[in-house]
Amino acid sequence: MPRAHVILDKQAVIAPVRRRTFGSFVEHLGRCVYTGIYEPGHPSANDDGFRMDVVELVRELGTRTIRYPGGNFVSGFRWEDSVGPREKRPVRRDLAWHSLESNQVGLDEFARWLGLTDSEMMVAVNLGTRGILPALDLLEYANHPSGTALSDLRVANGTPEPHNIRMWCLGNEMDGPWQTGYMTADDYGKLAARTAGAMKMADKDLELVVCGSSNSGMPTFGDWERTVLEHAYDHVDYVSCHAYYQEHDGDLGSFLASAIDMDYFIDTVVATADHVGYKKRSSKKINISFDEWNVWYQKEHEASDEVNDEWRHAPRQLEDVYSVADAVVVGNLLMTLLKHSDRVTSASLAQLVNVIAPIMTEPGGPAWRQTIFHPFSITSRLAAGEVIRAVVEAPTYATARHGEASVVDATATVDEDRAAVFLVNRELTETTQVTVDVRGLGSSRILEALTLADKDAYAKNTLTEQNRVTPHPNASATLSDGLLSIELPPVSWTAISLG
């Protein structure tokens, strides 16, 4: 049996736990909105048409910030289409996902939905096919109390109180050729700087997110961030990161070590942002909004006929069904975000419902939890106080994509009266015995120990078997004389709460 040892000390503080780390993403794509969060006529629908069974699952998931309305969708979006009387809203073509958008859910309705889920809204503005003035108009409509043309329009539309949206994304993935209106780093940096400057003239306390690279494999990665921030550094607060992972060619070992790439991505972007700050002699630090991350089987979708010559309303697109291995990777990626809480202060699991999502629905039928739902909801519930650095001593193994990887990864959080330890076992076939030295935490008892694992690493939850994979209590966990001992099954994610 492989063995690993983890040392925890509550003095080794990285940063506070950021509640915005537990964010998600709703894009007008596929069935995320229509028959996802919104389905008038469903047995659980409220007067606004929102599925309350989905609301309950979102509350259980523990999301705090929801990015909206895109995504690639935003680069062709006219926000004016989505407000006012529903019967007068136009149907538009969405070029990003080759579908039709009815605009039956818009800014005001979505804000009411957020109130049901106790989440805040992060809005993306269209800098692909629009620019400064529409962004300012949207800001006025959303946030100004009343007494101006657009704020009074919001009041007339039935929303007397301003939405008070604090976080705003300046476009989406503007480095990507797939993006409607994509640009060079120089052109985008100038537009983002001008837009950010104008928006902060309206409200100096806005938190603005400038687009970073769409992924760390982009040919302009690093240089894109440098160029954009040289223009926009003084006006923005965040630079975005986006990353999706999947298993390639049956290489499960590399897939389970995907967090190594995320770690590299974050460190590189932080170093680049700080380099620009040093050049500008600025004391300001740019943080990271990792506002798209997940497991996504992109190659399989690219090879399918999901996007075709038909123009359809809410077609089934990107509906990945997730396995145990996928959930272990998602749990490990969330652990990595926590480890970087000093600079990653906002993140969004993409997406929330049906589209590469932790929650699935069937039109007219049930809603259920995918495997990836569980590590996110448990971490959101248990992580509190401060993130502390874990020292991990464990065997390593060679991966084709990420070099040497530790068999065990760990992180922990500490609050006044409790602690939480999160562990991943990347071993493919063997149980790993782990001891965790918690004497530095002052913990004296185990409150709960939950492990997500299965004899079949590719087991999934489906419409016909919605609870095939769920976390189970780990009876091997013991705590004696400040040493926590636990057995981690192969390909598993574990959370332990200590009192």
Would you say 347 and 121 are in contact if contact means Cβ atoms under 8 Å apart?
no
Cα dihedral 465, 468, 470, 475 sign: positive
Query: Catalytic residue at 173?
Result: yes
Cα separation, 457 vs 453, whole angstroms: 7
Cβ count within 10 A of residue 11:
8
Cβ count within 10 A of residue 326:
25
Q: Which residues on neighbouring strands pair with residue 422, listed in sequence order?
A: 411, 495
Helix (H) / strand (E) containing 473 = strand 472-473
Pair of tokens at residue 408: 């065990």
Would you say 3 and 393 are in contact if contact means Cβ atoms under 8 Å apart?
no
Q: Which residue has the tokens 């309950």?
A: 56
Cα separation, 239 vs 268, whole angstroms: 12
Written as one string, the DSSP assignment of 42-88 is: STTB-TTSBBHHHHHHHHHHT--EEEES-SGGGGG--GGGGSS-GGG
Q: Which of 109, 225, 292, 427 is catalytic?
A: 292
Query: Catalytic residue at 292?
Result: yes
Pair of tokens at residue 204: 């100096």
Q: Which of 39, 80, 120, 173 is catalytic?
A: 173
Cα dihedral 248, 330, 18, 31 sign: positive
Helix (H) / strand (E) containing 302 = helix 298-302
What is the set of active-site residues? Answer: 173, 292
